[in-house]
Amino acid sequence: MSQRLAGRLIVLGITGSIAAYKSPEIVRALRAEGAEVQALLTPAATRFVSPLTLRTLTGHAVDADLLDLLPDGRIGHIVAADSADAILVAPATAQWIGAMANGLSGDVVTAACLATAAPVVVAPAMDGDMWGHAATQSNVARLQEAFGYVLVAPEQGLLASGSTGIGRLADTTTIVDAVIAAIGVAPVREPNAERRPPTVPAGDLSGRRIVVSAGGTEESIDAVRILANRSSGRQGIALAEAARDRGAEVILIAARVSVPLPDGVTIVRAMSVDALNTALRAALLPPPLGAAVAPVDAYLATAAVSDFRVAGGPAAEKLRRGDEITLRLSPTPDLLGGIAHELGARARRSTLLVGFSAEASATPRAHEKLQSKDLDLIVANDVTAPGIGFESPENAAEIIGADGAVTRVGPAPKRVVADAILDRVAALLTSRAGE
Ligand SMILES: Cc1cc2nc3c(=O)[nH]c(=O)nc-3n(C[C@H](O)[C@H](O)[C@H](O)COP(=O)(O)O)c2cc1C
């Protein structure tokens, strides 16, 4: 079959409708027709579909922030407006249609449409009553009659609210056909790739599966009290974000954290040592026979795991104020050591294991931990040094390999430390593949 959009650039504007989950399918259909696709998202749309997914599927930098420049410094909505062969807004919300009808350029999608000479195709999706409202209908009429936009009318069917009515996003094939018809035989507007939106290179962890644990575990003392630690989860979250941005599929197992969890990664919550152990074993150990799960390429154990818990388990009821209490603590199991043992000797296992040694004067203890647990890398940081470590946005670390090679990084933002650690992980994975 000939590709009807070969050589074309289609800018896909996505707005905050539940139907935004269909946008990856629209991207695939446009690409199957030979188009290059760039995604522009309203802030609301980013709540429904991840910019990372769209960046990965389109191979282009996603623009979701009107006041942010593209990675190469150009103004995203102007580049999109000037180089698109068509702008497709799918799904289009009632809010977006109203803003557009009135020329309000408060998001990248309206701004690009206002600035373009390309045909604009609009595929609304919303609740049936919203679609039927006189305001929506008059706004849609204005887009068609005053601006010449092509409308791909929503369809009758079951809506997200559970009711039936007109408001479902049109079928992907109908939308793609409308884009092709809108372009017709017009010449390609911007054949020069350098003037089109920038592409993103595949990251050095593309195709890798990486598990990161982050935060501090907590152990119950009684029905309301816990033993916890001061880990904020920042370093683990920075690692998960950096691995994601370098193309990896990331599973973030998060205990107690004091910063927001990232998007674009699979999040598993595990608050206690036992819950963390269960989550880690599910993610890292070979599945039961017959289950097809891709192996994990690396596990980065940043979580601060409680070393102790209340011996004999927590009190069933809230301990009363005023009583003098003695807490007897017993040691918790060594989770990373246990996983390392079950995965087998370093030379034979397929998952790289990266430990963290967070103690004062970390380095001698880190070497000992690296060897006793048979890890591939250990990251040693002195959590007692002022300005780095727990709760701080910065860190300084020594990254020590099983081969003895040491990288020193920081004091620097935790994202910089994360990328230095991932540089070592990526190099080890590459050298392993070449063995
Ligand atoms: C779960 C959920 C689903 C929604 N789906 C739609 C929808 O399909 N169509 C619509 O017009 N608005 C929908 N909304 C409301 C929009 O998200 C809201 O009007 C938002 O301001 C749209 O912003 P935007 O047009 O700038 O993307 C939905 C809201 C929620 C919470």
The domain total for the chain is: 2
Residue whose Cα lies nearest atom 5 of ligand 1: it is 17
Question: Residue type for 296, please?
Answer: V
Catalytically annotated residues: 229
In a domain, 278, yes or no: yes
In a domain, 319, yes or no: no
Number of H helices, E strands in the chain: 13, 19
In a domain, 201, yes or no: no
Pocket test of ligand 1: the residue of 21, 93, 155, 159 to mutate, having most ligand atoms within 8 Å of its CB, is 93
Atom of ligand 1 nearest to the CA of 109: 26
> Domain with 134 in it: what CATH number?
3.40.50.1950
3-state secondary structure of 82: helix
In tens, the pLDDT along 92-138 reads: 999 999 999 999 999 999 999 999 999 999 999 999 999 999 999 99
Query: 78 and 72 in contact (C-beta within 8 Å)?
Result: no
The share of the chain scoring above pLDDT 90, in percent, equals 69
Same domain, 353 and 288: yes
3-state secondary structure of 103: coil
Average predicted confidence (pLDDT) for the chain: 91
Same domain, 159 and 250: no
Same domain, 335 and 382: yes
- The whole-number pLDDT of residue 55 equals 85
Assessment of whether the complete model's pTM goes beyond 0.75: no
Same domain, 227 and 374: yes
**Mean pLDDT, residues 342-346:** 90
In a domain, 150, yes or no: yes
In tens, the pLDDT along 49-72 reads: 888 788 878 989 899 999 988 878
In a domain, 158, yes or no: yes
Chosen domain end from 169, 195, 221:
195
Q: Which residues contact 344 (CB under 8 A, 6 or more apart)?
A: none
Atom of ligand 1 nearest to the CA of 15: 27
Alpha-carbon distance of 424 to 411, in angstroms, equals 18
In tens, the pLDDT along 314-333 reads: 998 888 888 788 899 999 99
What's the gap in Å between 122 CA and the centre of ligand 1?
15
**Mean pLDDT, residues 355-371:** 79
In a domain, 318, yes or no: no
Residue whose Cα lies nearest atom 1 of ligand 1: it is 18
Pocket test of ligand 1: the residue of 42, 46, 95, 107 to mutate, having most ligand atoms within 8 Å of its CB, is 95
What's the gap in Å between 278 CA and the centre of ligand 1?
38
- DSSP states of 218-257 as a string? -EESSSS-EE-----SHHHHHHHHHHHHTT-EEEEEE-B-
Same domain, 229 and 357: yes
Which residues are near ligand 1 (CB < 6 Å)? 15-19, 42, 44-45, 93-96, 107, 125-126, 130, 160
Chosen domain end from 171, 195, 219:
195
Same domain, 21 and 118: yes
Query: 307 and 281 in contact (C-beta within 8 Å)?
Result: no
In tens, the pLDDT along 268-296 reads: 999 999 999 999 999 998 776 555 567 89
- The whole-number pLDDT of residue 289 equals 59
In tens, the pLDDT along 378-414 reads: 999 877 777 666 667 888 899 999 988 999 988 888 8
Residue whose Cα lies nearest atom 13 of ligand 1: it is 17
- The whole-number pLDDT of residue 335 equals 96
Same domain, 231 and 147: no
Same domain, 225 and 134: no
